[in-house]
Each structure stands twice: as C-alpha cells, then as structure tokens.
Structure 1
Amino acid sequence: MRSIVAALLILIAASLSPARAAEIPSDDEQDVLIRSTLMTFNDANMTGNYAVLAAKASKQFQAQLPVDKLASAFESFRKNELFFEGVVSADYDSYEKASFDSDGALVLAGVFKTGDIQVKYRLRFVQDGNAWKILGINVDANKL
C-alpha cells in the first residue's frame, strides 16, 4: 500500500480576519467546494499543469506557492499515479463539522473511499468577495 501526504498550509492571520464575518456555507456549497477543489487538484496532478489550481487559490496561497513550487510539492502524486477521479461521484464522511479556525479560515475535512483509493483531505478557504479561495490543502491518498 502506497501512501502520499501533501500539505500546503498558509497561515497569514492578519489578512484572514474578514473571513470571520462570513457565514459557514450550506451543505451543498461545502460539497461543491470539496469536490471542485479535489478535482482541480487531481487534474493538476494528472496533467502536471498547476496553473488552474493556483488561479483558484487565494492571493496569500499564490504569493507563497507559485506554480513551479506546486508542481514540485505534488510530484509524488504524479510519480505514484495517485489519481482519484472517483471523488466526483463518491460518498464521503466529514471528520469534523465545517468551522472557522483560529485564523479565520473555513476548514472542511473528511475522507473519500473510491474503490481502490482512500483520499483524506483537510481544506482551508478564505472568502474573497463572493468566492471561496483555497488557502491550504492537505491531501493523503492511499491505494487500497
């Protein structure tokens, strides 16, 4: 069994305080955030092109992790072919109720099991206008 963990967490508390004024998204909105983020991440790993993942990320994330660093950080997913298209339609379990962390970031965490792979995730978002932007991504993929 191969396991790969990738974590990119950006903690910029001063710039996150406006997120605390935001409301927790509805269950349906959370579902869209989780699935679209993981699919963008998966597509980036499959193609080696991290431009869209970076474009969907917050300014803080982009400033600290340009596209070339993203490609380097997630090289093990490509090398080990840990791809998980099945999260588009698979059921998942949330580890914790959606909440804001001490830095004001929205945190969504859980696990997908899609037949031959288990994908644990912890995603952090900050609100930018009306859109939620990726602030941090932690994914652990295990072939079963």
Structure 2
Amino acid sequence: MKHPQSSSVRRMARAAATALLSLGLLAASQGAAVAQAKKTEKGDKVHAARPANIDRNGVLILIRSTLLALDQANKTGNYTVLRDLGSPNFQANSAAQLGDIFANQRKQALDFGAVAVLEPQLTLLPQIEPNGMLHMAGFFPSVPMQVNFELLFEPTNRQWKIYGVSVNLTSGAPQAPDTPVAGQQKPDEAAPPPDAPSMTVQPKKAAKP
C-alpha cells in the first residue's frame, strides 16, 4: 500500500535534484542530488557512462547559457527564463520555488559574469550517464573567486535541457600560508630551543568542483 504522501515526497526529491545549490553548507545535498540523478530504474542493467558526442562549441554554449541564465536570475530575482531553459522535470519547480532554492546566492550577491569571457576548465568531460543524462563538471579560473560547476542535461525534443545545476565559489587567488616556510639556518643564527614548535607548511588542497 502506497503512502498517501508518496507522490508529494517523490516530487520534492525530484525538485531537490533538479536545481541544487552547493555553497559549503549544502555540499552534502549536492552529492546526494547528483547521485540521485545518476540512478537507473530498478531492475535495469547498469552500464558504464560513455563519452558524449558533442563538439567543443556545443559544450561552451550549454555551460555559458546555463550559468549566465542563473547569474541573471540571481541578479534580477526573476527565475522565469532559467526555468524555461529546463527540462519538464526541472520545470516541476515554479519560478518562485527556484527563487527559494537559490536564495542564498542572491542574498550574497554572487557574480558569475566572468563565465562570459573566460574559458572553462573541465574536470569531468561531457559524458552520457546510464540514465541518458548529459553530465559535465569544471571551473572558471577567475579571481578572486573561482566559479565551480556541475551540470546535468536531459534530452528533450532532440535538445539538451537543464536538469541539474550545482554552483559554488572558492578562492581563485594564491594564498600565503599562515606561517612562513622555515628556511635554511644561517651560520650566525641561533638554533631554536629543543621545545620550540616546528613550522610545517601543509600544501593547499585543490578545490573540488
């Protein structure tokens, strides 16, 4: 017997998967939503993802049009165009619901305008997932903030339409370590006492998309 709220629960889960936002606090939701989008129907045979047959210009158009539409929606507070660019599953979210999903980006006045002129660096080359989705990820090496993205597109009427959008910003500028790197000791310098704390500089971890 199906629970009376099962339909609404499935719709809420689909809404979360189709327009997700990752800004630190929502990183876990990002991974869960992308994983959900990759699942195949129960009982289907799972195949490995395969490279997408799409040229470089087509990839750039999809990435830039999506991120610029999100940028303009955040700046104007009007998510109608972003919604219209999405697949029917993405459009299950109203423009008002998309506004709620991306509220934190809008409040922080984040600017993705750099994607219009910079070349994206892909960390995941375009590939077709077992469920037929076009999946890609990468970043725009801008400063001071680097734009990281992960996108899913659903085939609709022989076109790729937005299904999932994940965007987060990380520092794109080189950062100095908290403590200076210990250099070679000069002959006339006094050696530090035995109980002096060591100065170890940890390498900066690469930002995740």
Q: TM-score, normalised by structure 2?
A: 0.58
SS in 2 for 1:25: coil
Percent identity (aligned): 30
SS in 1 for 2:139: strand
Distance of aligned partners of 1:13 and 1:66 in 2 relative to their CA distance in 1, 3 Å threshold: farther
Q: Contact 2:132–2:155 (CA<8 Å) still a contact in 1? A: no
Task: Give the corresponding residue for 2:83.
Answer: 54
Match of 1:4 among 9, 13, 23: 23
The yes-or-no answer on 1:110 pairing with 2:126 is no
Q: Contact 1:110–1:122 (CA<8 Å) still a contact in 2? A: yes
CA drift of 1:143 comes to 5.3
Q: TM-score, normalised by structure 1?
A: 0.82
> Residue by residue, what CA displacement relative to the aligned partner does 1:40-62 show, whole Å, maximum 9, x if unpaired?
01000111100000000000111
Report the aligned-residue RMSD.
2.3
Match of 1:42 among 71, 77, 82: 71
Structure 2 residues without counterparts, runs of 5 or longer: 1-21, 42-48, 173-209
Task: Give the corresponding residue for 1:132.
Answer: 160
Matches of 1:140 and 1:108, distance apart in 2: 15
Matches of 2:154 and 2:79, distance apart in 1: 20
Q: Which amino acid aligns with 1:140?
A: N
Greater Rg, structure 1 or structure 2?
A: 2
Q: Which amino acid aligns with 2:69?
A: T
Match of 2:104 among 61, 73, 76: 76
**Which structure carries more helix by proportion?**
1
Deviation larger for 50-59 or 102-111: 102-111
